[in-house]
Amino acid sequence: MIEAELKARVRDPEGLRELLRQRALEELSVYQDTYYDRPDGSLTADGRELRVRVIDRSGTRRTLLTYKEPAVDEASGSKPEHETKVADPAVMDTVLRALGAVEYVQLTKRCANYRFTERGRDMLATVVTVPELDGVFIELETMAGADELDHALADVRAVLVDLGVTDDDLTTEQYTDAVVRARRARSAR
């Protein structure tokens, strides 16, 4: 399956969250993400992602291992995604390092998630802040087969318009790249 997703900068975070609360319950979570790469950086250079995510929500913790293939839609950055639960993130870190992976970057995402069905699709809207980055972002996604990606992205875009997000707000910049740049700029001072 492909994660048909659009991401945008948010101009009115509280107004957006209110519109989302009208569609679904708000679930607050903190994601601790560790991205891995090969020592030569070839996974990242090829547009692939290998991530261990620890999600803390309402006193519960769960861990996911995610592998994302290169983007199949350059305009949105949508990627085929493969994800599974992991019992212990430390064990997964040991396994990945034993296989030759190195840590690319760690980052924290503070998220408000909203799950709802619209236009006949299960959707997940996530309002995101990353402490090292300026601004607030929204990610809106639905899962789609390769044959329906264009329709899924059109549905996602239509919901974003309903939420007051315009095409001018859209971005394909990845948090990992932005955090790496922010850290380099900070250390250069």
Q: pLDDT tens-digit profile of 142-188?
A: 999 999 999 999 999 999 999 999 999 999 999 999 999 999 999 99
Q: 9 with 135: CB under 8 angstroms?
A: yes
Q: Residue 13's pLDDT is what?
A: 98
CA nearest 32: which of 13, 57, 10, 9?
57
Q: Is residue 133 part of a domain?
A: yes
Cα torsion angle, 103, 105, 108, 114, sign: negative
Q: How far apart are CA 8 and CA 11, in angstroms?
A: 9
Domain membership of residue 156 as a residue range: 2-184
Place of tokens 């870190």: 93
Q: Is residue 189 part of a domain?
A: no
- Rounded alpha-carbon distances, angstroms, from residue 160 to 16, 27, 28, 82, 163: 10, 19, 20, 25, 5
Q: 5 with 78: CB under 8 angstroms?
A: yes
Q: 7 with 137: CB under 8 angstroms?
A: yes
The number of helices, as runs of H, and strands, as runs of E, in the chain is 5, 9
Q: Residue 78's pLDDT is what?
A: 97
Q: Is residue 94 part of a domain?
A: yes
Q: Residue 189's pLDDT is what?
A: 85
Split into its structural domains, the chain has a count of 1
Q: How far apart are CA 135 and CA 123, in angstroms?
A: 23
Whole-model pTM: value is 0.96
Q: Residue 147's pLDDT is what?
A: 97
Q: Is residue 65 part of a domain?
A: yes
Q: Is residue 89 part of a domain?
A: yes
DSSP 21: H
Q: How far apart are CA 136 and CA 144, in angstroms?
A: 26
Q: Residue 177's pLDDT is what?
A: 96
Residues in the chain with pLDDT values less than 70: none
Q: What is the CATH number of the domain that holds 73?
A: 2.40.320.10
